[in-house]
Amino acid sequence: MVLPTVFADAARRAEALGAPALGTRTSLRVGGRPDFLFEPETEAEAEAVVRHCRDAGVRLRYLGGGYNLLVRDGPIRGAVLATRRLQFLEITDTQVRVGAGNSFPGLVKTAIELGIPGLPGCPGIPGTVGGVVFMNAGGRFGSVADALVEVTYLDPEGASSRRVIEAGDLGYRTSRFDGCLVTGATFRRDPAFTQEAAQALYDDAMKWKRETQPLSAKSAGCIFKNPDGPEGPRSAGRLIDEAGLKGAQIGGARVSPVHANFIENTGDATAADVHALIVKIQRTVFAAFGVELELEVKTW
Ligand SMILES: Cc1cc2nc3c(=O)[nH]c(=O)nc-3n(C[C@H](O)[C@H](O)[C@H](O)COP(=O)(O)OP(=O)(O)OC[C@H]3O[C@@H](n4cnc5c(N)ncnc54)[C@H](O)[C@@H]3O)c2cc1C
């Protein structure tokens, strides 16, 4: 088969790099080696990778910063497209357009200067812009959804598309971009949102994060979504804590003593350790409270 030039270029780079074990690319520091790893530098290269994998019947997965992923230990069949080189930043008086591979913490800092609502309330959320849009990341002080106006993406066939965000496109840690590759996102600027107000929001959110979450541990952030309860969402962390599991450990994986909805890799954890601990937490919480905890973290 004759490969399109652009795909051949990306394939050559992938071969030269060799596919690393994904434990080197995920914050939990676990995960095996995929058959192929592509790191396109342009949307055209990304499109060629998507189309070629589809035509060749090769399963393709998308990797952002790897901050919300649990990847299995063994070989990962198929290809991974990492977005970290898909970077750009375009600023106008009213909007900021940013690449999927740009650092989200970097964008949060920029948002303070440029007056992008919501984002200054998201410090301490690691990842890429594509990853946070796909996950609709956020928390009690702000969310990606607060200022997101448009997303560019490749659909599962590799066709380039653009969507103005509407109510219902983003849910609790979900988005309508399942199976698509987010390539860029546009956020609105609000002249009424002053740098002082943005900085104050950032400082409050960062203080809360530092006090409540193990930010320097090797983790994937919250493992479970907060389940619905009769009086609104219940804290998954509190349920795990009240089930007596804070500090529980299997192999090198431990329920964080700081925040029970975080699992930490204490040094030599495998993905199997983390998975076994997840199952133990789900069974214990169900036995204690009759609540089924659903994963927030994505698993490969
Ligand atoms: C210490 C810590 C604190 C955290 N705090 C928070 C928090 O407060 N709130 C919160 O919401 N999250 C939090 N997280 C989780 C994480 O920061 C977010 O989920 C973030 O969105 C992950 O982005 P990523 O680029 O690393 O995505 P990845 O982990 O690489 O991928 C996550 C999912 O997104 C998909 N994906 C990635 N990029 C793209 C793309 N361009 N197009 C399509 N799909 C894509 C992947 O296939 C995967 O399914 C925290 C994590 C850590 C480690």
Domain ranges of the chain: 5-82, 89-212, 228-299
Q: What's residue 17's pLDDT?
A: 61
CA–centroid distance, residue 135 to ligand 1 (Å): 6
Confidence category of residue 2, pLDDT binned at 50, 70, 90: very low
Q: What's residue 13's pLDDT?
A: 58
Pocket test for ligand 1, best of 86, 87, 125, 258 (most atoms within 8 A of CB): 125
Interval 267-286 mean pLDDT = 98
Interval 3-19 mean pLDDT = 59
Interval 282-287 mean pLDDT = 98
261 three-class SS: coil
From residue 239, how far is each of 26, 33, 274, 282, 287 by CA, in Å? 27, 35, 19, 10, 11
Q: How far apart are CA 28 and CA 272, in angstroms?
A: 12
Is the pLDDT score of 3 beyond 50? Answer: no
Fold for 228-299, please state it. 3.90.78
* Phi, psi dihedral angles at 154 (to 5 degrees): -105, 130
Is the pLDDT score of 138 beyond 90? Answer: yes
pLDDT tens for 65-98 read 999 999 999 889 999 999 999 999 999 999 999 9
Interval 193-207 mean pLDDT = 96
Q: What is the CATH class of 5-82?
A: alpha beta
Q: What is the CATH number of domain 89-212?
A: 3.30.465.10
Ligand 1, atom 52, residue with closest C-alpha: 221
Residue ranges around ligand 1 (CB below 6 Å): 27, 61-69, 83, 100, 124-128, 130-132, 134-135, 137-139, 177, 181-182, 213, 215, 219-221, 298
Tokens 């058959």, residue? Answer: 35
Q: What's residue 229's pLDDT?
A: 85
